[in-house]
Amino acid sequence: MEVSFGSFQVAVLMAFLFVTMALVTIFVVVARQSSRNVAFETVTDTGYRLRRAWLAFLVLLLGSGVVLSLFFLPFPGDSKATATVNVSGGLFYWSMNPETIPVGSEVSFDVTSADVNHGLGIYDPDGVLMGSVQAMPGYHNQLDLTFDKPGTYMMACLEYCGFKHHDMMKEFEVTQ
Tell me which residues touch Cu ion (CB under 5 A): 157, 161, 165, 168
Q: Are 147 and 174 in contact (CB under 8 A)?
A: yes
Cα(107)–Cα(100) distance, integer angstroms: 11
Of 101 and 168, nearer to Cu ion (C-beta) is 168
User: How many CB atoms lie under 10 A from the CB of residue 132?
Assistant: 18
Cα(175)–Cα(101) distance, integer angstroms: 6
**Which residues are within 8 A (CB) of 118 and not within 5 positions of it... i.e. 6 or more apart?**
89, 90, 134, 135, 157, 159, 161, 168
CA distances from residue 70 to 78, 92, 107 in whole angstroms, order as listed: 14, 38, 24
Q: How far is the CB of 118 from Cu ion (least distance, A)?
A: 5
Q: How far is the CB of 43 from Cu ion (least distance, A)?
A: 58
Q: How far is the CB of 119 from Cu ion (least distance, A)?
A: 7
Q: How far is the CB of 133 from Cu ion (least distance, A)?
A: 13
Of 149 and 166, nearer to Cu ion (C-beta) is 166
Of 145 and 161, nearer to Cu ion (C-beta) is 161
Of 157 and 174, nearer to Cu ion (C-beta) is 157
Helix or strand (DSSP H, E) at 43: helix 40-69
* CA 54 to the chain's CA centroid: 27
Of 107 and 157, nearer to Cu ion (C-beta) is 157
Q: How far is the CB of 159 from Cu ion (least distance, A)?
A: 5
